[in-house]
Structure 1
Amino acid sequence: MKFDPEQVKTETKEDFDKAWSESTKYLTPVDPVKDYSMKMEQGKAHPVYETMNRLREAYINLGFEEMVNPIIIEESDIFKQFNYEALAVLDRVFYIGGLPRPNVGISDERFAQIEEIFGRKLTEEDKETIRTILHKYKKGEIEGDDLVADLAAGLNVQDSKIAVMIDHVFPEFKKLEPVCSRKTLRSHMTSGWFISLEALVNRRKTPVKLFSVDLVFRREQEESADRLRAYHSASCVIMDPDVNVEHGKAVAAGLLKQFGFSDFKFKPDDKRSKYYTPDTQIEVYGYHPALKGSNTKYKDGWVEIATFGIYSATALSQYNIPYPVMNLGLGVERLSMILYQAKDMRDMVYPQFQEEWVLGDKEIADMISIEMQPSTREGHDIAMSIIATCERHGTDASPCVFEAWSGTLNGKKLKVTVSEKEENKKLCGGAFLNEVYVLNGNVYGIPKGNPKFKEIEEKGVSTGIRYIDAIANAAARNIEEGVYETSVKMSRAPGDVNVLIDPVALRYIQGKKNKIDFRGPVFTSVETEITGE
């Protein structure tokens, strides 16, 4: 189809502004004065990816270049790298399998079945189209994702009919069984380093300093608190004629100091992998002050964090690499567990699946909001005026009445007042300035500055919502809708003062049998008088 510029609509600035406003209403507060339901806060990073980013920066700070290593490794490379240990390594790798392409024969009987599904006779051209496309699919010239679409286009029928045809006429597709190849998923970053270094050895001058932070896969019998089948390795190599074990120590220290580790121990690794030169495989132990005395298995402050070594000359020769290569690697998830003091790797990596559901106080506080809110600029002004009036006169003796706002709303002139008609009271009850806090999964409405609630105020998380804030918003919304009296007496629950706890947080609080305490005398009345049209 030829492009016709005349068919392109030119948006005015007003069109654009309106579209932009609609698209961003979930990103920015709806009103610049004060909005409790839309809190603009920075998003939250996953511990593993946060640690990965810090590791990447740490390597770059040490002068390493980032590299993407192959993930799919040929079985033959495992033998070249691990020698007679290869079979033990292969026992723990995932082999890659796939469905074979079926050799589909098409008889007259099958063509008759297709005609019945299509509801029409097949021409000789149609039959040849089916044969040709299925033959190309068998040869790999057409991908599985495109088979249905290509048949539908070639035969001029709906995709759904092609799907029925394949299901009913060609049972060969349903009977396919995966066939294993000799390709594996990378189980050690080392497997990729040999291949990458072979490609670069004649293209880069030494020293070559590379790093990669990426996934590796192990066919573990089961996952546990400190072992997963898919995890991230933060690995580096230095290829240089003069590289040695001391360089490994320097890199380990330089890397881990950026994470707060202050001292290091280096011990020979008893595992002695065959792709390392004998007596060069070293375990790195780091001391972190934050772990000292912690409720983890690292309470003495020391933790095994990395391993490094010099690649075997025999293994390097399989890839025509003439220089020594130092390799260091550490598990990202292991480091994340240490930094975040997590006890179970599974819960840290996959919090959505953990049996013990945990919501922090800040998470709960973020799920508490003002329910009814005004939708107009005038409504917001009314709410703010009611709040200001109560803040100034809330403790004044009654009977009393104070004008909060006057103006035009929905074509009517209105006067909004806050009043208390009974004698020997105050304009507002003693709890009208109570603020909503969350502490240890409990939700409280408390008066600030009261010694009785000192712990909640100091240790809890404030929502920033006071009873009067929420009540004023409800009153303003009511006025917009033509309801001209809002009165709150005793508060016993969040809804009494127009506070909403999200159902997710509510389920958590109730499931934990925690408290929601909104009790208190509010006694605040807002009235509106129509003063003209």
Structure 2
Amino acid sequence: MLKKKKIIALAEKDFEKAWKLSKKTLKEPHHDLQYPRLYYRYGKSHPLYDTIFKLREAYLKLGFDEVVNPVFINEDEVYKQFGPEAPAILDRCFYLAGLPRPDIGIEKDKIKKIKNLKSDADIGKLKEVFREYKLGNIAGDDLVYEISNALDVDDETALRILEIFPEIKKLKPQVSDVTLRSHMTASWFVTLSKIHDKYRLPIKLFSIDRCFRREQREDESHLMTYFSASCVFVDEEVSIDVGKAVAEGILRYFGFSNFKFIPDEKRSKYYIPDTQTEVYAYHPKIKKWIEVATFGLYSPIALAKYNIDKEVMNLGIGVERLAMVLENEKDVRKLVYPQFYGEWKISDRELASMLKIDLYPVTEEGRKLMKKIIEGWKRYKDEPSPCEFKIFSGKFLNKKIVVKAIEPEKNTKLLGPAIENQVYVYDGNIVGVPKKGVKSPLAEKAKKNGINTNISYMDSLAAKVSYKIEELVVSGGDYLKLRTAIARSLSDVNLKLDKVAMKYITKKNKEIDVRGPIFATIECKVKE
């Protein structure tokens, strides 16, 4: 177990070393485990939630306690906080709506239709179900189930009975006076009204959660739902310097240095005039001043409406804004929803993991034979032809077999020069790279900067030969001859690429170039 943990940790940093260590750990690793198809890969996290995680750590290290603030805010709360400005604020809020519970009458014509579906239907029980539904004692998604039980029918029949009542099908949502939180401040007033006199001062709380805003449209800088990383600092006396200190403490955790505090011209009504402040931070990697936070002191007038007799500093950070800076992304839609707006990108390492040997020996003896074939090919590959070499002779799956590597043609070698080609992935291309004498510019770049899959043509073809010999012996055959002359495609070298990878390579106009002369011939005879 300790070795496996080491491999897992190492694989995240150096796949080459992890592969070598895995070969030592596993006596006979299955071909699906060959580099880079290591199953020691962590899932990929979303940058937005990475930022949230770090923000939580930063707040906790500064001594703030985490709370969950209410998401549903009655419009009366908005009027308390904003006064005359409330209608303008509510214009950007989503209101909650729900379907009403109608009075459902069961007239004679409806009773007749019900009796056609269930002759002995107890109409009294059905009325009771509808009455309980109207009172809210039965949930809407349980209505079919309750009708089914009351009338002793299956769900399909219960659904057909329900369709007899058009007043249910024609229900239209009715809007309530409850909104979805459009900014975290709306929740802080509600939360603080319940706890401000129950905790020792200073009270330091933070909440990182979704807010919802009814934007006219979503674009590169606006979404209808976003995350706010907000905090409050409550004490008998709170100065604006507290906001500056908290902002610096949080943002230094992300590598920001040097800060500017500029009065915010927006001047929200729930802040004391001239305390609302924008925070600009300088990030040394990006080398820019970035607006990343806003803070201010809550107005005593707004606080008094909640019977809060303390002073409160509130600071808010737009998580998406911060994540965009950290990821150097200019479009919030691409950051948050890459599956819809982002460019389709598969890394070379991911592509390499989607390439594997196709036919591979199933049995232990087959895998040992594969090694014998590789050893024989390596030993005799440069022998002049015509030539013939015995690779294996002996018992194989309870049969006597003889395996030979042959080359009948004159004035050549046992194997072609491409037999030792290694498969690399570079910039979305899959390339067969010669061991020596690399001539193709793409192959040169792949060998220098690409991902080596550690799959050679020799390995993959030996796997295919061994697999076919297994088939021969099991099926009762007595002779097999396999020859691979020129490689033109992945299948020629017994390689298989995942459909997703193939689609990606085609869409991006990348190449699969595994061409090369192999001229490998294996002959197998089964003896009685």
Q: Same fold, TM exceeding 0.5?
A: yes
Aligned residue identity for 2:85? E
Is the Cα contact below 8 Å between 1:36 and 1:370 reproduced in 2?
Answer: no
1:457 has 2:447 as partner? yes
Aligned residue identity for 2:176? S
**Aligned with residue 133 of structure 2, among 129, 132, 137:** 137
Using the TM superposition, give the Cα deviation of residue 392 of structure 1 relative to its aligned residue in structure 2, in angstroms: 5.0
**Aligned with residue 333 of structure 1, among 300, 307, 320:** 320
Is the Cα contact below 8 Å between 1:474 and 1:498 reproduced in 2?
Answer: yes
What's the counterpart of residue 226 of structure 2?
A: 231
Runs of 4+ in 1 over 6 A off after TM superposition: none
Using the TM superposition, give the Cα deviation of residue 526 of structure 1 relative to its aligned residue in structure 2, in angstroms: 3.4
What's the counterpart of residue 124 of structure 2?
A: 128
What's the counterpart of residue 308 of structure 1?
A: 295
Q: Secondary structure at the match of 2:266?
A: coil
What's the counterpart of residue 246 of structure 2?
A: 251
Deviations 1:349-384 (A, max 9, x none): 212222743333333333222222233333333334
1:497 has 2:493 as partner? yes
User: Structure 1 residues 137 and 522 mapped into 2: Cα distance closer, same or farther (>3 Å)?
Assistant: same
The gaps in structure 1 that reach 5 residues or longer are 1-28, 293-300
What's the counterpart of residue 158 of structure 1?
A: 154
Deviations 1:311-369 (A, max 9, x none): 11222222222222222111222222222222322122212222743333333333222
Using the TM superposition, give the Cα deviation of residue 90 of structure 1 relative to its aligned residue in structure 2, in angstroms: 0.5
* Worse overlay, 451-460 or 266-275: 451-460
Is the Cα contact below 8 Å between 2:272 and 2:298 reproduced in 1?
Answer: yes
Aligned residue identity for 2:32? D
Is the Cα contact below 8 Å between 1:36 and 1:465 reproduced in 2?
Answer: no
User: Structure 1 residues 414 and 67 mapped into 2: Cα distance closer, same or farther (>3 Å)?
Assistant: farther
What's the counterpart of residue 263 of structure 2?
A: 268
**Aligned with residue 352 of structure 1, among 339, 352, 362:** 339
What's the counterpart of residue 472 of structure 2?
A: 482
* Worse overlay, 223-232 or 426-435: 426-435
* Worse overlay, 90-99 or 280-289: 280-289
C-alpha separation in 1, matches of 2:282 and 2:150: 67
Is the Cα contact below 8 Å between 1:36 and 1:369 reproduced in 2?
Answer: no
Aligned residue identity for 1:179? Q
Q: Secondary structure at the match of 1:290?
A: coil
Using the TM superposition, give the Cα deviation of residue 485 of structure 1 relative to its aligned residue in structure 2, in angstroms: 3.7
Q: Secondary structure at the match of 2:472?
A: coil
C-alpha separation in 1, matches of 2:394 and 2:83: 87
User: Structure 1 residues 496 and 266 mapped into 2: Cα distance closer, same or farther (>3 Å)?
Assistant: same
Using the TM superposition, give the Cα deviation of residue 70 of structure 1 relative to its aligned residue in structure 2, in angstroms: 0.7
What's the counterpart of residue 203 of structure 1?
A: 198
Deviations 1:65-107 (A, max 9, x none): 2211111111111111222221111100100001111110011
**Aligned with residue 435 of structure 1, among 422, 426, 430:** 422
Q: Secondary structure at the match of 1:321?
A: coil
User: Structure 1 residues 70 and 432 mapped into 2: Cα distance closer, same or farther (>3 Å)?
Assistant: same
What's the counterpart of residue 22 of structure 2?
A: none
Deviations 1:450-490 (A, max 9, x none): 56544222322333332223222222222222274433221
What's the counterpart of residue 76 of structure 2?
A: 76
Q: Secondary structure at the match of 2:420?
A: coil
Q: Secondary structure at the match of 2:448?
A: helix
User: Structure 1 residues 81 and 398 mapped into 2: Cα distance closer, same or farther (>3 Å)?
Assistant: farther
Instruction: State the number of aligned residues.
Output: 491
C-alpha separation in 2, matches of 1:462 and 1:203: 63
Any residues of structure 2 matched to 1:317-466 within 5 Å, and which?
A: 317-354=304-341, 356-391=343-378, 393-399=380-386, 408-448=395-435, 452=439, 453-466=443-456
C-alpha separation in 1, matches of 2:28 and 2:79: 65
Using the TM superposition, give the Cα deviation of residue 433 of structure 1 relative to its aligned residue in structure 2, in angstroms: 2.5
Is the Cα contact below 8 Å between 1:93 and 1:217 reproduced in 2?
Answer: yes
Is the Cα contact below 8 Å between 2:365 and 2:397 reproduced in 1?
Answer: no
C-alpha separation in 1, matches of 2:391 and 2:204: 70
Instruction: Report % sequence identity.
Output: 46
C-alpha separation in 1, matches of 2:403 and 2:92: 75
User: Structure 1 residues 509 and 55 mapped into 2: Cα distance closer, same or farther (>3 Å)?
Assistant: same
Q: Secondary structure at the match of 2:97?
A: strand
Using the TM superposition, give the Cα deviation of residue 497 of structure 1 relative to its aligned residue in structure 2, in angstroms: 0.7
What's the counterpart of residue 513 of structure 2?
A: 517
Q: Secondary structure at the match of 1:465?
A: strand
Q: Secondary structure at the match of 2:169?
A: coil
Using the TM superposition, give the Cα deviation of residue 220 of structure 1 relative to its aligned residue in structure 2, in angstroms: 0.4
C-alpha separation in 2, matches of 1:79 and 1:469: 74
* Worse overlay, 382-391 or 143-152: 382-391
* Worse overlay, 429-438 or 387-396: 387-396
C-alpha separation in 1, matches of 2:67 and 2:372: 60
Using the TM superposition, give the Cα deviation of residue 143 of structure 1 relative to its aligned residue in structure 2, in angstroms: 0.3
1:35 has 2:23 as partner? no
C-alpha separation in 1, matches of 2:212 and 2:284: 32
Q: Secondary structure at the match of 1:247?
A: helix
What's the counterpart of residue 50 of structure 2?
A: 50
Aligned residue identity for 1:90? L
User: Structure 1 residues 70 and 155 mapped into 2: Cα distance closer, same or farther (>3 Å)?
Assistant: same
Q: Secondary structure at the match of 1:173?
A: helix
Q: Secondary structure at the match of 1:104?
A: coil
Using the TM superposition, give the Cα deviation of residue 214 of structure 1 relative to its aligned residue in structure 2, in angstroms: 1.2
TM-score (norm 1): 0.86
* Worse overlay, 390-399 or 204-213: 390-399
* Worse overlay, 99-108 or 51-60: 51-60
Using the TM superposition, give the Cα deviation of residue 448 of structure 1 relative to its aligned residue in structure 2, in angstroms: 5.0
Q: Secondary structure at the match of 1:273?
A: coil
User: Structure 1 residues 164 and 247 mapped into 2: Cα distance closer, same or farther (>3 Å)?
Assistant: same
Using the TM superposition, give the Cα deviation of residue 421 of structure 1 relative to its aligned residue in structure 2, in angstroms: 4.4
What's the counterpart of residue 4 of structure 1?
A: none
Is the Cα contact below 8 Å between 2:73 and 2:180 reproduced in 1?
Answer: yes
C-alpha separation in 2, matches of 1:213 and 1:340: 20
The gaps in structure 2 that reach 5 residues or longer are 1-25, 474-479
Aligned residue identity for 1:62? L
